[in-house]
Amino acid sequence: MQFLKSIFRAFGACIRYINTYFKTFVFLFIIALILMPSSDSKSSLSNLAKVELNGEIFNVNATLEALNKLKDDESIKGVLFIIDSPGGLFAPSMELALAVKDLQAKKPVVVYASGTMASGSYLAGVGADEIIANPASFIGSIGVIMQGADLSELANKLGIKPQVIKAGEYKEAGTFTRAWNEQEKVYLQELIAQSYDLFTEFVAKERNLKLEEKDKWANARVFLSAKAAELGLIDELGNLEKAKKRVEELAGVQNPSWKEPDALDKLLNKLNAQALSFSKELLSSLLLSSNQLEAR
C-alpha cells in the first residue's frame, strides 16, 4: 500500500510540475523565437566564443554539438570553456574530452573552472591549452566509482521475487536484486581499475604529469585551486575576465568580439536545468517513500 502511495505521490508531483511550468515554458519559447538573432546580427561578426558545462554529466549532446560547431566555424578564433560540474558518467565525460582535444587542435581553448572541476568534468576540460581556476574552486577527484543497491530485503517485504534468464556468466553482474557474489566483485573491480588507468593516463599525457606519481595528483582526491596549481592540474588562478583575456591573447585577434548564445539556446538550457531539478526531486521523493516502507 505504501508503495502505491509513493507512485500516486510521484504522479501528483508530475501534474503539479506541468501545471506550474508548462505555460511559462510556452511563453518563454515564443519570446525566444522572437528574439533569435538574424544572420546579419552582431553574433555573425564574432571571433571568440564561450561554451559552458554546468551540473552533472549525463546527456552531453548539446555541449558536444556546440564544441563541434565551433571547431568547424572558421570565423571563431578562440574558445573559452567554462566548467562548473561535479562530474558524472565516464563515457560522456570522455566524449567531451575528445571533443575538446579536436577543437584545441584547430584553435586555442582555455578552460575556466568557475566553481567545481572534478572527476568527469576535469577529464572533460583537461585537453585545453590552459586551465584557469577561481581561487575557491574544487579541482581533481580523479577517480572512478561504481555503486549499486541491494534491494533484496525490500523486495522480500513487498513480495517481489526476481526471475532471471541469461546467457553469459557475468550478465547479471551489478544487479540490484541481490548481493553481488565474490566473483562478480572481482570482475567489477577489474573493470573499474581499467577505467581508472584510462583516466589517469589521459590526464598525465595532457598535463605533462608523471604517471608513476598519480597517487599524489589523482587517487580521487579533491584540491583547492592553489594546491591543484602546485600539483600541475591547472595552470593558474584567476577570475572569468582573466580567462577571457587569455583566450583573446592566444587567439591573437585585433578586435575581440564574443559570440553571445542565442535566445533559443538559453531557453533550452533553462528547460534542461528545470527537468534535471524535477527528476532529482522526484527521485528523492521515491527514495524517501521506500525508506519509510523499509523502516516499518
Mark out the alpha helices in 73-181 (DSSP H runs): 90-104, 120-125, 152-158
Mark out the alpha helices in 152-237 (DSSP H runs): 152-158, 182-207, 214-217, 225-231
Q: Give a yes or no: residue 43 inside a domain.
A: no
Q: Give a yes or no: residue 94 inside a domain.
A: yes
Q: Give a yes or no: residue 203 inside a domain.
A: yes
Q: Are residues 136 and 242 in the same domain?
A: yes
Q: Give a yes or no: residue 2 inside a domain.
A: yes
Rounded to 10 deg, the angle between the 61-72 and 90-104 helix axes is 10
204 C-beta neighbours (distance < 10 Å), count: 20
Q: Which helix (H) or strand (E) holds 269?
A: helix 263-295
DSSP class per residue in 274-292:
HHHHHHHHHHHHHHHHHHH
Rounded to 10 deg, the angle between the 263-295 and 2-35 helix axes is 170
Amino acid sitting at position 79:
V
Q: Which of 5, 69, 157, 171 is catalytic?
A: 171
Q: Are residues 112 and 57 in the same domain?
A: yes
- Is the distance from CB of 142 to CB of 126 less than 8 angstroms? no
Q: Are residues 20 and 164 in the same domain?
A: no
Q: Give a yes or no: residue 117 inside a domain.
A: yes
Instruction: Note the pLDDT of residue 130.
Output: 98
Q: Are residues 54 and 130 in the same domain?
A: yes
Q: Give a yes or no: residue 238 inside a domain.
A: yes
Q: Are residues 230 and 136 in the same domain?
A: yes
Instruction: Note the pLDDT of residue 30.
Output: 61
What is the residue range of 268's domain?
Answer: 1-36+262-296
Residue 161 falls in the annotated catalytic set? no
CATH number at residue 118: 3.90.226.10
Instruction: Note the pLDDT of residue 87.
Output: 97
DSSP class per residue in 52-74:
EEES-BS--HHHHHHHHHHHH-T
16 C-beta neighbours (distance < 10 Å), count: 11
What confidence tens digit (pLDDT) does each residue in 196-254 have? 999 999 999 999 999 999 999 999 999 999 999 999 999 999 999 999 999 999 999 98
> pLDDT digit of tens for each residue in the chain (296 aa)?
444 445 456 555 555 655 555 556 556 656 555 555 544 444 568 899 999 999 999 999 999 999 999 999 999 999 999 999 999 999 999 999 999 999 999 999 999 999 999 999 999 999 999 999 999 999 999 999 998 888 888 888 888 888 888 898 888 898 888 899 899 999 999 999 999 999 999 999 999 999 999 999 999 999 999 999 999 999 999 999 999 999 999 999 989 999 886 655 556 555 655 555 555 555 555 555 444 443 33
Query: How many structural domains does the chain have?
Result: 3
Q: Give a yes or no: residue 42 inside a domain.
A: no
Q: Are residues 12 and 153 in the same domain?
A: no
**End residue of a domain, out of 212, 239, 270:** 212
Q: Are residues 116 and 236 in the same domain?
A: yes
Q: Give a yes or no: residue 41 inside a domain.
A: no
Residue 245 falls in the annotated catalytic set? no
Q: Are residues 181 and 287 in the same domain?
A: no
Q: Can you tell me the distance from the alpha carbon of 35 to that of 207, in angstroms, rounded to the nearest whole number?
A: 41
Instruction: Note the pLDDT of residue 3.
Output: 45
Q: Are residues 225 and 95 in the same domain?
A: yes
Q: Are residues 57 and 132 in the same domain?
A: yes
- Is the distance from CB of 115 to CB of 137 less than 8 angstroms? yes
Set of cell numbers at residue 167: 546467457
Q: Are residues 172 and 32 in the same domain?
A: no
Q: Which of 119, 121, 141, 225 is catalytic?
A: 119
Q: Are residues 127 and 231 in the same domain?
A: yes
**End residue of a domain, out of 194, 212, 230:** 212
Which residues lie closer than 8 Å to 163 by C-beta, 6 or more apart? none
